[in-house]
Chain A
Amino acid sequence: MSNPLKDMDKPDVIFAIGTNMTECHPVAATRLKKALTSGARMIVADPRKTRLAKMAHLHLPIRVGSDVALLLAMAHVILREKLYDIDFINERTTGGVEFCKHLAEFTPEWASTICEVPAKDIEKAGLIYGAGKPSAIYYTLGITEHICGVDNVQSLCNLALMTGNLGVEGGGINPMRGQNNIQGAGDCGAVPNNFPGFQPCEDPASAEKFTKAYGREIDCERGITKVTALNTCGDGIHAMLIDGENTVVSDPDKNHCEHALKSLDHLVVIDIFLTETAELADVVLPATAFGETDGVQSNTERRVQRLRQAVPPVGEAKPDWWIISEIGKRLGLPGFEYESAKEVFNELCSLSPIYAGLDWDRIEDGKYHWPVPDKDHPGTPMLHEKEFKNGRGIFKIVNYRDPAEVISEDFPLWLTTGRRLQAYHTRTQTGRSAGIEYLLPEESLEIHPDDAAELGLVHGAMAKMSSARGEIEIPIKVTTMSPKGTVFTSFSFANVPVNILTGSGYDPVTQTAELKVCPVKVGPV
């Protein structure tokens, strides 16, 4: 997030796109509700009539995967109506002229044919966002889990740049991270392109820094992503160490994923439960869970916070850092003689410029947002306040592309996937917490009444759903939450393994899977 969570009750205009916030980030959503109570206006772009959409002043039920078209047209309206912030554009950005020229043809009428919402609503969205002082953007995986995820994000940046909504209280571009420490995994350098603290692997100075710190030469080129690694299992990649991820249920194209892991010579999984993924491993190592270990987490607003141990680990479970270090030591690697989580974290701080002002003791109260470049720095709740990291904000020329697969005679419905309030990911945790099943006993496929009638589907009955990759059975839930032509389900339930169907394509830059779009056929069993 460019802005802190406490800013969320301050926007004049809220633009929420591709986020089911009341279910996925409920506590953050309470702040938006407060903003609404005090007079903020809200635009929600989401194919489904979510709770958030029902609260919106303007709901745009756009076709899945049509976000770029919507955002280009909104920018077109902002330009035409001169709602841009010319001073901000002149002083802090580059590429504005080219971007404005690019916008000429992308009228709301043009976007309307792609997004399948009325042109006047797109026009209205542009006017409302453009007039907000400030306007804030919130998004989640509904933006990124597309083959054009990067284009979607850049389109949002363009909107914020042209209206000067960056570096202002109550504004900004705010992606909400979905997992407790997914931000932290990136902060710590568990990515193929960056060392800890987002220091690029391809930067020779960084490579040298870590070569020196770790005592061995490290490739000065980025590694492959997990998606590529899974594609080359058995043919390039022969061993994997997976920590706390139920890859075969959460990743797209389940069959492919399972096949990939099975073709490894050696698979070691660290987890708290014997997940579907752990069942495929050669060695499974039991890790400590929440409440059983000390550690550190970064939240979605880059706030670095302490986890504390409250109970002893079950059985012989050990902290992840201890397990990995023990494997390292057995391979004869130096630098893994840690005695505590504190030691590990302090080493991270010593190597990461964004954590340079932090250490284990300083984060006791969780008051710092990174970057914290030195010990006298108060932290950075808001990014881009005076300047952008790389100088000027860059307008990017973006064009609309169709999703990897589009609906056809064979697969005439759009499937989009997501999450439920009461379930978390693959339910390894919520599925084992008493009472949750009282509210959400099973997964179902949400389908519009018209579609259900046309396909002869009855509420509560089982249906077959297939895509180019496979077929599953799933109970039907007839609801107007889904727009006509689009069906929805979550990937949380192992008995409805929807990721057998997904996996049509990946963003070429980030290799994020297009989990939000998958043409399917649905019919009675």
Chain B
Amino acid sequence: MSIFLGFCRFANRSGLKIPHLRRKDVCETPTLGDFSKSQSFFERNSVEGTNRPEIYEEIVQTGDADRALFNLINIEKILILKIRFDTIALQLMTVNRDQITEVDLLTMTLDGEAVQFTEGETIYQVADRHRKEVPTLCYDDRLEAFGACRLCVVEVEGIRNPVASCTTKATDGMVVKTATEAIEKHRKTLLELVVSENRNVDVDELSGYASQEMKNLVDRYGARTGRFQGRKSGTSNTKDKNPFIVRDYENCISCYRCVRVCAEQEGDYAINVMNRGFDTQIITEFNQDLRDSECTFCGQCVQTCPTGALGDRKALRDVETPGELKKTRSICPYCGVGCSVDLLTKGDKLVGVQPAMDGPANEGALCIKGQFAFDFVQNADRLKKPLIRRDDGELHECEWNEALDAAAAGFAKVRDKFGRHAIYGVASGRAPHEAAYTMQKFIRAGFGTNYIDNCSRA
């Protein structure tokens, strides 16, 4: 395990607030050589107790990041955390004493191993931290645990029936087994039952971010046995003709993730649950179309759906498009929040967008524009060639060389005739830094003026 992840978990568990910490900041096991490179950093920051190489040596040598860091905090009451970095090496940062909250660490036995946790953590959180791969369907770590799917059940010593690990708090001295034969059999049966109620298990991955969760579990547990036959649940809503969200409830498993993400994450409360059992339906107020409800079409319900019952209708247009689905991380082109997105492409075609769950600004959230308004990019109206105004007064397509020559010649002519203060540059608030930077450089280096602005005044 990387030292950083270990630290993350430790910090997480102890309720510590660590500034500038990102889960992505993972690095390989550092060496003492790395440490020496960061000496200057400490010296400059001269924080008490941080200039003791033996502490770092301990972290590096024990290899058990959790324990090493635990010892460390006991020794020094100071946390030293490492953030990765770049090409040079390791940096070490300190966290002030007053930022540290000390908490009691409790111990439980997880699959025979003693592990530490803090009060308030669920069994699932502890198990997940220790990479136990406890299966879930109704779980989304951004939402309150719900305990509906029962797949995360585990055995707890002293309790006769298996307990749902997502809703059960870990307690000191608890002995937990996450994958006994009985538990695994139970999970398989549950999945067989779930499969029996749905129209199909295999949905295209264009459906949504989490759309393969159920399929993957069914395959992992070999649950396509057809052992149970009978009534199907859910009725697909085909009357809602909205262009963004497929509402194929025949594949709904009543995990309520859509309802919960809409309420807890978005605060929109656009959808809810009607009836129970086989008759369960996810509906809007008065069962009207999403357009007429509080729905803002942010697409979060689509992205959290584990079965593809809710699907990204725009992305699904390209199910038949040949090519492997590829994801490229970028930033949404609309407002200033700067949400991280994964662009979905097949070959040269942009087919959709999914939110980046680890996006630093949005943490998995998007709005209708970022989620669905992407296809302007390959719209037929895009300018494909330069245009130049000819003697007939009209714009005509031309080659780059001619257009650039004409553009430059026009500026040279105006400069020569009216002087360098006759030329003005307007940079875009939409284009990247490199556009704005070269634009201001063009004006400043080209004409020696500061006749440059951007579109922020209107």
Contact = CB atoms under 8 A, between A and B. Distances in A.
B75 interface: no
B229 interface: no
Interface string A410-449: 0000000000011010001111111110110000000000
B365 interface: yes
B382 A320 contact: no
B408 A290 contact: no
Interface of B: prevailing SS = mixed
B450 A223 contact: yes
A331 B86 contact: no
A365 interface: yes
Nearest to B423: A239
Contacts of A291: 328, 330, 343, 350, 374, 377
A299 B414 contact: no
Contacts of B428: 181, 185, 243-245, 270, 320
Given A226-B426, A319-B434, A266 B442 contact: no
Interface stretch (A62-70, A110-118, A172-180, A457-465): A172-180
Contacts of A510: 457
Nearest to B428: A244
B383 A250 contact: no
B20 A327 contact: no
B347 to A, nearest CB: 9
Given A239-B411, A308-B329, A330-B408, A186 B440 contact: no
B128 interface: no
B73 interface: no
A36 B336 CA distance: 22
A104 interface: no
A283 B376 contact: no
B175 interface: no
A381 B20 contact: yes
B319 interface: no
A266 B267 contact: no
Interface stretch (B28-36, B184-192, B271-279, B384-392): B384-392
Interface stretch (A42-50, A73-81, A209-217, A471-479): A209-217
Given A179-B455, A225-B457, A318-B400, A283 B20 contact: no
Contacts of A400: none
B19 A381 contact: yes
Interface residues of B, number: 128
A2 interface: no
Contacts of B362: 27
Given A274-B383, A366-B340, A432 B425 contact: no
Given A311-B378, A421-B368, A429-B333, A345 B384 contact: no
Interface in B215-259: 241-244
Nearest to A348: B437
A467 B411 CA distance: 37
B334 A424 contact: yes
B406 A26 contact: no
B132 interface: no
B97 interface: no
Interface string A298-309: 111101011111
B453 interface: yes
B426 A243 contact: yes
A183 to B, nearest CB: 6
B338 A317 contact: no
Contacts of B242: 435, 438
A153 interface: no
B206 interface: no
Nearest to B457: A512
A316 interface: yes
A194 B77 CA distance: 45
A295 B449 CA distance: 26
Interface stretch (B54-62, B158-166, B291-299, B303-311): B291-299
A283 B361 contact: no
A219 B407 CA distance: 24
A196 B443 CA distance: 13
Kindly name the residue among B25, B421, B439 whose own CB sees the greatest number of chain A CB atoms within 10 A: B439
Nearest to A241: B425
A241 B411 contact: yes
Interface in B439-453: 439-446, 448-453
Contacts of B20: 367, 378-379, 381
B387 A188 contact: no
Contacts of B434: 295-296, 319-321, 341, 344-345, 348
A418 to B, nearest CB: 13
B59 to A, nearest CB: 20
A201 B452 CA distance: 12
A324 B86 contact: no
B440 A190 contact: yes
Contacts of A121: none
Given A306-B331, A308-B329, A435 B383 contact: no
Contact of B383 (A266, A273, A511): A273
A260 to B, nearest CB: 11
Contacts of A321: 432, 434-435, 437-438
A221 interface: yes
A428 B376 contact: yes
Contact of A188 (B331, B395, B417, B427): B427
B316 to A, nearest CB: 12
B436 A181 contact: yes
B374 A282 contact: no
A242 interface: yes
A354 interface: no
Kindly name the residue among A226, A292, A375 whose own CB sees the greatest number of chain B CB atoms within 10 A: A226
A433 B435 contact: no
A159 B208 CA distance: 45
Interface string B337-366: 111100101001110000000011110011
A286 B384 contact: yes
Nearest to A245: B455
A283 B369 contact: no
A279 B417 contact: no
Given A181-B430, A252-B458, A311-B378, A193 B265 contact: no
Contacts of A179: 335-336, 429-430, 455-456
Contacts of B313: 435
Contacts of B382: 272-273, 286, 289, 314-315, 317
Nearest to A296: B433
A508 interface: no
Given A184-B432, A305-B340, A367-B22, A266 B414 contact: yes
A25 interface: yes
A479 B267 CA distance: 24
Nearest to A243: B428
Interface string A329-348: 01101111010010011011
8 contacts: A30-B265, A30-B267, A195-B444, A245-B455, A283-B388, A305-B360, A331-B411, A433-B373
Given A266-B413, A285-B403, 7 more contacts: A26-B296, A189-B452, A190-B440, A221-B450, A268-B407, A325-B442, A326-B404
The 4 closest A-B pairs by CB, nearest first: A315-B384, A299-B338, A295-B432, A244-B428
